[in-house]
Amino acid sequence: MIFRRYFGWFALVTAALWVPATAVEVWMAYRDGVSSIGAVQSAEAKAARRLIEDHLHGIERQVRDVSSLPWRSGALTEEDRRREFQRLLKVVPAIHEIHRWDAEGRETLYVSRVWKDRVNEPAAGSPPPMLPVGTASTYGDVSFRDGLEPFVSIVLGESDAPGAGTVGVLVDLKFVADYIASLRVGKQGVAYLTDRAGTIIAHPDTDLMLRRQSIAEAPQFQALSGATEQDDGLRALYVASTKGGRYVSARNLEPTGWHVFVEQPSAEVFEPVREALMRGVAIFVLGLLVAFGASLWIARRLAGPILDVKRGAERIAHGDLAARIDVKTGDEVQALAEEFNRMAAQLQDYTFGLERKVLEKTVELQNALKLAHEAMKARALFVAAASHDLRQPLYAISILADTMALENLPPGSAAALTKQREAIGILQTLFDNLLDLSRFDAGEVRLNVRVNSLHEVLMPLVSEYEFLCSAKGLAWGSEIAEVAVRSDPELVRRLVGNLLSNAVRYTRQGGVGLRARVEGAEVEIVVSDSGVGIAPEDQARVFDEFVQVGNPERNRDEGVGLGLSIVRRIAELLGARLTLESTVGKGTQIGFRIPLAEGVAAGPAAAPEREPPSRARLWGLRVWIVEDDRVVRGALALQLATLGVRHAFATRRHELEALHHRDGAWPDAVVVDDMLGPHESGLDIALWLRACMEPERIVVVTGNSDPHRLRALDGTGVRVLRKPVAAGDLVLWFRTLGARSSQAGVPAG
């Protein structure tokens, strides 16, 4: 609103005047505060240093006066010296005890306030003092007698004459500690004294003194240690701490090597700064109140017509296009209101026409969406039907070829059959890959992420490709970590299978390997070979469709160029990044990573059994086949007759009921085709059979690629095989059923 705008301008002007003035005042208060605290603290530290030095020097003078008497003239005896030392203890209360050593460092006299005097009776184990040179004085380390009060030893030379002795006094520092504890700087400032090593020897807080608290690592002590002789200490050093910052000044005491520190909390130092800031804030608040009153008055006097225009514009904006603004000021505001009125009239006309067009486009869009849904449904039906119809003849051809492989053929016929089966395999691979690409492009492939044992996912491939490598004369190696992974097991198995198929196809000699190792929170799966390798310029395009490096003649023995394209699409769906390392003539290594399943242990899975087709244990086995395709029925009849399997065909449920009524029992196995016609599907018959016989004796053969259909089939609990079904898979299943019947004592016929 306009009131806010006027208030904003007044507040801006007030702030523009207040901020610089307050900033200058605060800065000057800060500068003066730091400067004054530095001067005050330095003065207090100097005064404390002077008093302590005077106190210690006075003790030295008293001792030197006694030591300067003519002791070596022979007029005075050691007993006179002892009496002088006792008098010194009375005159100087701070002296606790006095020692006297001769030039050889032997103790000749000891006088104490507490202990018995000794004359030429040195204490056992008493070390000689560190003798000063001439009349110099030496200060020892500060010690605490009985853990309560600090003492310091002072050793002085008697004179510069040869053979002169040394006098040592133990001085009670209680006077120094009391003086330091009484010092106050400002309201909360304190002073304290440390020895040359940074240990506190006098402090208002006696607990710190008695605990021998050290500040050797504190910033103020470190800074003081690095100061030069010209600096003579610290001046207003800021030290941060958990209890708030403080400013510290310090001075050195000579010749003791002690340090006097004076510190004051920064909150107290900055009290003038806070006061200046509060004054500035008060002025600013007062300015805001003035700005508020002025803006309110101006808004009421001048902004009434503008507010009328605003309210009218809001009504128009909310859809009331019939609203009009009535302002009679004779100025620009009235002109603006009239423009709004003309605009509202035009918008009213435009809106009617626009609503009509929107309605027409909405109907067109709904029709287009309906057509798109029907097209997607038709596409799905077409793909399912095309998958089934194309797989049926391929299924029949595969059955016939597998059946002929069971016979003893002449060498020429056997070689031709081998080529035929290879061609069937290439056709099957091309068909599967094209359907997979179609599903990926249509977005029909969905992730089904769950926790699985890595062994269970990869061991079927290990068994299969170990057999294929052995048949081709290649070495095989595998290393599978015993872990659980979180991913889509079917897509992982398909991705690794395509990589292994590619590796075996392009490796003439050497070997192929599969490795799965734990790398952090992931498992790295790598397929390697010693094949022809991929040139660097071709590595970027090997994952494209129909790309076959080094196969310009399109030799179908080398594949169809879709395997790695499907690998790339599966990896993108899994969120895994493919890595490729290859050297021409040495081989290729392709890998990817999938996440581990945290907290889940997985053991090794047994490799699936792989056995070639055989007629053993199949004679007399009874099998019913539910199939409506005439060609497939004929091929299956020939295959089952060759295997010695007693079989019967049906196409509907009532035909199966008739067979059961005829035989009086259910067969050993039932093979059901998934797509049977418009009346009943293989899924319906499988569900009905599951209520009549064991699910493991039922197998559904499907050529449907729809993932929803495949999940529905897997949910029945019966075995599901994808077309074209290899004879070995079907025979192995038959043999398993025959063995189970034999173990149960039930005849197969």
- Does the domain at 176-268 match CATH 3.40.190.10? Answer given as no
* Res. 20: pLDDT tops 90: no
Other Cβ atoms less than 10 A from the Cβ of 598: the count is 9
Query: What whole-number percentage of the chain has pLDDT above 90?
Result: 15
Instruction: Supply the pLDDT for residue 606.
Output: 46
Q: Cβ-count burial of 529 within 10 angstroms (0-12 exposed, 13-18 middle, 19+ buried)?
A: buried
CA atoms within 13 A on the CB side of 121: 6
- Give the pLDDT of residue 612: 47
- Rounded Cα distance between 427 and 64, Å, is 118
Alpha helices, DSSP H, located in 251-331: 266-269, 271-302, 304-317
Mean pLDDT of 242-256: 80
Q: Letter for the amino acid at 502?
A: N
Model confidence band, residue 537 (pLDDT cutoffs 50, 70, 90): confident
Q: How many percent of the chain have pLDDT more than 70?
A: 77
Cis check: omega of the bond before 707, within 30 degrees of 0: no
If you ran DSSP here, which 8-state letter would residue 122 be given? P
349-445+613-749: which CATH topology? Rossmann fold (3.40.50)
CB of 671 within 8 A of CB of 651?
Answer: no
Residue 529 pLDDT:
94
Task: Give residue-wise pLDDT tens across range 339-392.
Answer: 888 888 888 788 778 888 888 888 888 888 888 777 766 665 666 566 666 666
**Number of Cβ within a 10 Å radius of residue 649:** 16
What topology is assigned to 448-601 in CATH? Heat Shock Protein 90 (3.30.565)
* 172-204 tens-digit pLDDT: 888 888 888 888 877 888 888 998 888 898 888
In the block, tokens 């196409």 appear at 651
Single out the residue of 725, 121, 96 nearest to residue 399, CA to CA.
Answer: 725
The answer to whether residues 499 and 566 touch, using CB atoms and an 8 Å cutoff, is no
Beta strands 166-172; 190-194: pairing state: unpaired
Q: Which residues contact 19 (CB under 8 A, 6 or more apart)?
A: none
Residues 456 and 463: their CA atoms lie apart, in Å, by 12
Q: Which of 539-548, 640-649, 702-711 has the highest mean pLDDT?
A: 640-649
Amino acid in position 514: L
The one-letter amino acid at 41? Q
| DSSP letter string, 618-682 | -TT-EEEEE---HHHHHHHHHHHHHHT-EEEEESSHHHHHHHHHHHSS--SEEEEES---SS--H
Complete DSSP assignment for 495-547? HHHHHHHHHHHT-SSSEEEEEEEEETTEEEEEEEE-SS---GGGTTTTTSTT-
pLDDT at res. 552: 46
* pLDDT value for 615: 46
Q: Which two tokens stand for residue 540?
A: 């970027």
- On the CB side of 509, CA atoms within 13 Å amount to 1
**pLDDT tens-digit profile of 439-459?**
666 666 778 889 999 999 999
CATH 3.40.50.2300 intervals, the chain: 349-445+613-749
User: What mean pLDDT is predicted for residues 44-62?
Assistant: 88
The residue that leads in pLDDT, 243 or 617, is: 243
The answer to whether 427 and 394 are in contact (CB under 8 A) is: yes
The CB-side HSE value for 629 (13 A sphere, CA atoms) comes to 22
Q: Taking residues 227-231, what's their average pLDDT? A: 61
Give me the mean pLDDT over the 450-479 stretch. Answer: 91
Question: Which residue type, as a one-letter code, is found at position 402?
Answer: D
Find how far residue 6's CA is from the centre of its chain.
50
pLDDT (0 to 100) of residue 674: 84
Report field, pTM of the whole predicted structure over 0.75 = no
- CA–CA distance from 617 to each of 167, 610, 729, 743 (Å)? 118, 16, 15, 12
- Which segments of the chain belong to CATH 3.30.450.20? 176-268
Listing DSSP states for 350-410 in one string gives HHHHHHHHHHHHHHHHHHHHHHHHHHHHHHHHHHHHHHHHHHHHHHHHHHHHHHHHTS---
> What crossing angle do the helices spanning 707-714 and 682-690 adopt, rounded to 10°?
10
**pLDDT tens track for 208-225:** 888 888 888 888 888 887
Q: Which residues pair with 700 in a beta bridge?
A: 672, 720
Q: Residue range 142-165: average pLDDT? A: 80
Please give the DSSP secondary-structure letter assigned to residue 575. Answer: T
Evaluate if residue 561 carries a pLDDT over 60: no
Q: Which of 696, 644, 487 is nearest to 573 (CA)?
A: 487
What are the φ/ψ torsions at residue 208 (nearest 5 degrees)? -65, -40
* Among the ranges given (254-258, 296-300, 647-651, 664-668), the one the predictor scored with the smallest mean pLDDT: 296-300
| pLDDT at residue 748, as a whole number | 37
* Secondary structure percentages of the chain, helix, strand, coil, to 5: 50, 20, 30
Per the prediction, the chain carries an average pLDDT of 79
> Which range has the top average pLDDT, 259-273, 377-391, 679-693?
679-693
- Identify the pLDDT of residue 563: 72
The reported pLDDT for the residue numbered 441 is 63
pLDDT, one tens digit per residue, over 296-325 is: 777 666 667 777 777 888 888 887 878 888
Residues 682-691: what's their mean pLDDT? Answer: 89
Report the distance separating Cα 547 and Cα 557, nearest Å.
Answer: 14
What's the rounded mean pLDDT across residues 635-661? 86
Cα–Cα distance, 621 to 739 (Å, whole number)? 10
The rounded distance, in Å, linking the Cα atoms of 341 and 334 is 11
Domain with CATH 3.30.565.10 in the chain: 448-601
The DSSP output letter for 611 is -
Q: Do residues 560 and 477 lie in contact, with contact meaning Cβ atoms separated by under 8 Å?
A: no
What are the distances in angstroms from CA 49 to CA 333, 404, 488? 80, 115, 81
Give the model's pLDDT for residue 745. Answer: 42
3-state secondary structure at position 107: strand
Q: How confident is the model at residue 526 (pLDDT cuts 50, 70, 90)?
A: very high
Angle between helix axes 727-743 and 630-643 (nearest 10 degrees) is 50
86-136 residue pLDDT tens: 999 998 999 999 998 888 888 889 999 888 888 887 765 555 555 554 567
